Amino acid sequence: MKLMRFLPIPIVALALSAAGASAHDNGNAFQLTGKAIAPPTNLDLGAPGPSVGDQQIISMDVFKGDKRVGESHVVCTSVRAGIVQCDNVTSLPGGQIVAAGLVTDAQEEQSPFTQAITGGTGYYRNAHGQLTVSEAGPQPATLTFQIS
């Protein structure tokens, strides 16, 4: 399954309107660049070979420009041939943002793809909105948070 080998998300996932963007900023969008700190870890948990239940774990540092502002950790689980469910937690100054969603092989090839922001902690405790990942693959990803 190609997706499990190359998805560096969001991603992911993971930008600050600055470093202090808040879930209370009514619709602010901010971008970060996610850079994997190591190759993804792939776990063959289902039947041998690509199958439902396999997982990929991705850890990234996230940057605003050249400044490291946090980290993002993503776990993607294969839920059907060609489809993974990814759960992302991004830790930033002032709290964490949680995002989740399905990513298909087709979406991997046609970035961007979008995940739901499902909540957070601290400044982001009431966060809702979307996380859009502009790149898939081994290169750095651009992560755009639209928080309402």
At residue 20, the 3 state secondary structure works out as: coil
Per-run averaged pLDDT (10 residues), the chain, 148 residues: 41 33 58 93 92 94 97 94 94 97 80 90 95 75 92
Q: Residue 111's pLDDT is what?
A: 67
In residues, how long is the chain? 148
Rounded to whole angstroms, the Cα distance separating 58 from 17 reads: 24
Domain carrying residue 50:
2-147
CATH code for position 47: 2.40.480.10
C-alpha span between 34 and 87 (Å, rounded): 15
Task: Fill in the amino acid letter for 103.
Answer: V
Give the count of beta carbons closer than 10 Å to the beta carbon of residue 77: 18
CA 103/CA 76 separation, integer angstroms: 9
The whole-number pLDDT of residue 109 equals 61
Number of domains in the chain: 1
This prediction has a pTM of: 0.79
* Per-residue pLDDT, 107: 78
